[in-house]
Structure 1
Amino acid sequence: MTPFMKKNALLSFFILIGTVAPAIAQTGSVSGVITDSLTGQPVANLTVFIPSSTFGTITNQKGEYHLGRLNPGDYTLMFRHLSYPTTTRLISVEPGKPVILNLALSEESRKLNEVSIIGRIPDQRLAFHLFKTYFLGDQKEATCILQNPQDLKFYEDGGTLKAVAKNPLIITNRHLGYRITFFLDYFNYVEDKNPDTGLGRNDYFSYGGSALFQDLSVVIPIMTMGWRVARKNEFKGSLKHFLAALYRDQLTKEHYYLRTTFQSPEDLQLAEKRSNAMTKIRWAETDSLFNMDPAIHKSSYLHYYPAEEYPLSQNQITAGLQTGEKKLQAVPSLLVFSDYRKTRDLRDDWISTLRIPEKGIIFDQDGNYRVPEGTLSWINHDNSMQIIRLLPSDYMPKLNENHR
């Protein structure tokens, strides 16, 4: 076993994503009024948005909100305010049919506008340096700038550096041309010594939250061409890009390579139905990748055969119920290698873990997807999901730009 895939830092992240439907000529809208369930008074300055998209607004002094130009489809709508619990609602938008969704926030669940910290307080300057390095992806804030660093607080808990924010983080990303309002749920950083594997230092970090993007191309049109190129490059290797390539049966053309994963010799023996002796031989041929699962906050090693491509069959990719859709199902846990350098050497690829729920997912030619039941997991093992490289879920390059 040669665990050569160790990186200087490993990222795992969880950002709530609201599915954005493909473009259709006639659009719909959603609007409503947000009130306090105890007083009946309107709740102003509450953010209403589709997570990880450019679709969002803020309630006015009457508690009113309106989101227009929504393509028909199903959406997760999120409501966030510092004094109230985070709330989500599923909505279905139909062409030309406004959706009315009023919401009364329960006073019993109301949160204090404070952040309670329990644990050792670290050097705040050093902690902020680590936060900029691993969360923003720009330690000098040359192009990705946090506008309100005073709202961040850091503490240590059991050897883990953690961050909390008393207000949404406001980030200007000049690399891709977005202003991001990021509601940080957690940020964890661990510097770990692992002498048992001989790997030396393993730094890993994880974060979770929800983001609302504002496209700055309208505000600074002179930068549009540069941002268009940068966005196109960052789109490669993303979940949407992978699913769009899969839909067109162009994984190889788009330089994607799949490997099935095993966590133990027992998993391997069960999957391949081999004898104990043969399993030991096969296990010695595997390579490994350090993995931190943000959903359960546990680390492990994922083993795979570097020379053995996992082939997706026609039984796993079938036609969806609706025109223009496909279904992906019966897929084991996979490592997705994006060979952006086009070297065929897996060690310099962008790497993600893909886990499909039992009943599969539905996806279209643009990489838009929905999950009928269960949870889709896409865990990135490099630094490509730092804020400086994040794109909104409704981003899609023009047809003549989305090929390498």
Structure 2
Amino acid sequence: MFKILQFFISLILLYSPIILSSQNNSTQEIDIKGRIIEADTKESIPFAHIFFEGTLNGTTSDINGYFVLKLTDVSNKPLIVSSVGYKTKTLTNYSSNSEITISLEKNIYMLADIEILADNLPTKRKLRMFKAYFLGTSNNAAETEIMNPEVLNFFYDKSTNTLNASATEPIMINNSALGYRIIYYLENFKASEDNVEYTGNYYFEELPVDNADKREKNLIRRFQTYKGSRLHLIRSIWNNSLKQDGFTLFYTNYKKIKLNEVITDLPTGEKIICLSPGAIIYYGDMNQSTTYFGDMNQSTTYYGDARPSEKSYLMQQEDCTKIDKDGYYDPKTVKWSGQMSEKRVADLLPYEYLPYKK
């Protein structure tokens, strides 16, 4: 176990973002400046998206491929660079003290591959299925809309009852319940009744609101969505506040987890948690029902109170997972099931989110 931790820590130190320590100094603003070019021709790529994963911090390159992105307190997340027709690039090793050049490789689609993906299921039905799997079925999802469904391509495999999807452009998602727009670059999507798998990169923008009442409703819905979420859990683990926040964690053999036995502090200011093979997570009052069917529209029903217990499972895909104070973790190192896995794109919150206080 000690050798595994040593190896993991060495990787963290090697690939952690190189950002000036003064970025957290509120009196001095620091930017990342650079240019996006094509790998083969070295020509500029205009209107590429550059953003920190899962945050409100993103921008686009200008007509000549240049961009400026401000560093914030959550800028220790992976830096994502995406553009239509190119392979997405993830940067974890970059500097803010010099202009950087980022080259993207073309994403070549073979026509023969596309022609194979044909089925007899109506497109409208496949779109409804995609929304249910991708956005979810929560009350938030009911108020969330995909603004450009024409960029989506579907193939339904009748032999396995599996829906496959891809997108030719970033999916623009307006979540009126939470007051966010999500720009989502979909990489892979495959879903059936028994299993839903999708990967991609995304960032947020605040949706404009025209009155104070609407903003107040957004803030309350964000708070309700946050309570018991994956974001809430990771922050609770970081702060060692599971009990205060309503979480109880067990190993898969139902032995209670003690965080001081599974958490290691890193020299980078981050932490790693080693729960292999996984954990059982309860949120709320364990003496009540294990499923919560509350109405999210009842904004004060569980405002700060324990609610009936929700049960989820966390299975580590690697020995350890890096986490940070904002609730970030590498999604490729963890697989969720149970209540938390039912929370999909319509229930996402940016890493800048802070709990609502009325």
- Write the mapping of 1:166-177 to structure 2, written as runs, cut at 5 A: 166-177=168-179
Aligned residues: 314
TM-aligned CA deviation for residue 368 of structure 1? 4.9
Match of 1:361 among 319, 322, 325: 322
Partner Cα distance (2:181, 2:110) in 1? 24
> Compared with structure 1, are the counterparts of its residues 66 and 54 closer, same or farther at alpha carbon in structure 2 (3 Å cutoff)?
same
Are the counterparts in 2 of residues 257 and 309 from structure 1 also a CA contact under 8 Å?
Answer: no
- Are 1:346 and 2:290 an aligned pair? yes
Question: Equivalent residue of 1:75, what SS?
Answer: coil
Larger Rg over CA atoms: 1
Q: Alpha-carbon deviations, 1:345-367, whole Å to 9, x = none?
A: 43551514142843553543x54
- Are 1:314 and 2:256 an aligned pair? no
Partner Cα distance (2:169, 2:327) in 1? 32
Residue identity matched to 2:77: Y
Q: Alpha-carbon deviations, 1:84-106, whole Å to 9, x = none?
A: 2111211456xxx5452212334
Question: Equivalent residue of 1:161, what SS?
Answer: strand
TM-aligned CA deviation for residue 31 of structure 1? 1.3
Residue identity matched to 1:390: L
TM-aligned CA deviation for residue 342 of structure 1? 6.1
- Write the mapping of 1:249-398 to structure 2, written as runs, cut at 5 A: 249-261=240-252, 308-312=254-258, 314-321=260-267, 327-329=272-274, 332-339=277-284, 343-348=287-292, 349-355=310-316, 357-358=318-319, 361=322, 363-364=324-325, 366-368=326-328, 376-382=333-339, 384-397=342-355
Match of 2:232 among 241, 258, 275: 241
Between Structure 1 and Structure 2, the one with more helix by share is: 2
Question: Equivalent residue of 2:68, what SS?
Answer: strand
Which residue of 2 is the match for residue 209 of structure 1?
200
- Write the mapping of 1:80-119 to structure 2, written as runs, cut at 5 A: 80-91=82-93, 98-106=97-105, 109-112=106-109, 116=114, 118-119=116-117
> Compared with structure 1, are the counterparts of its residues 312 and 134 closer, same or farther at alpha carbon in structure 2 (3 Å cutoff)?
same
Q: Alpha-carbon deviations, 1:17-54, whole Å to 9, x = none?
A: x99x9993335321111122443321111111112211
Question: Equivalent residue of 1:70, what SS?
Answer: coil
> Compared with structure 1, are the counterparts of its residues 139 and 240 closer, same or farther at alpha carbon in structure 2 (3 Å cutoff)?
closer
Which residue of 2 is the match for residue 41 of structure 1?
43
By relative contact order (CA 8 Å, sep 6+), the higher-ranking structure is 1
Partner Cα distance (1:333, 1:100) in 2? 42
Question: Equivalent residue of 1:52, what SS?
Answer: coil
Partner Cα distance (1:389, 1:312) in 2? 29
Identity rate, percent: 22
Moved more, 114-123 or 84-93: 114-123
Are the counterparts in 1 of residues 138 and 343 from structure 2 also a CA contact under 8 Å?
Answer: no
TM-aligned CA deviation for residue 73 of structure 1? 5.9
Q: Alpha-carbon deviations, 1:53-72, whole Å to 9, x = none?
A: 11111111011111114238
RMSD: 3.5
TM-aligned CA deviation for residue 377 of structure 1? 0.9
Partner Cα distance (2:345, 2:135) in 1? 5
> Compared with structure 1, are the counterparts of its residues 70 and 98 closer, same or farther at alpha carbon in structure 2 (3 Å cutoff)?
farther
Question: Equivalent residue of 2:218, what SS?
Answer: helix
Question: Equivalent residue of 2:244, what SS?
Answer: coil
> Compared with structure 1, are the counterparts of its residues 350 and 234 closer, same or farther at alpha carbon in structure 2 (3 Å cutoff)?
farther
Partner Cα distance (1:33, 1:113) in 2? 29
TM-score for both structures, normalised by structure 2: 0.74
- Are 1:189 and 2:187 an aligned pair? no
Which residue of 1 is the match for residue 151 of structure 2?
151
5+ long unaligned stretches in structure 1: 1-17, 192-202, 262-303
Partner Cα distance (2:260, 2:137) in 1? 42
Are the counterparts in 2 of residues 82 and 113 from structure 1 also a CA contact under 8 Å?
Answer: no
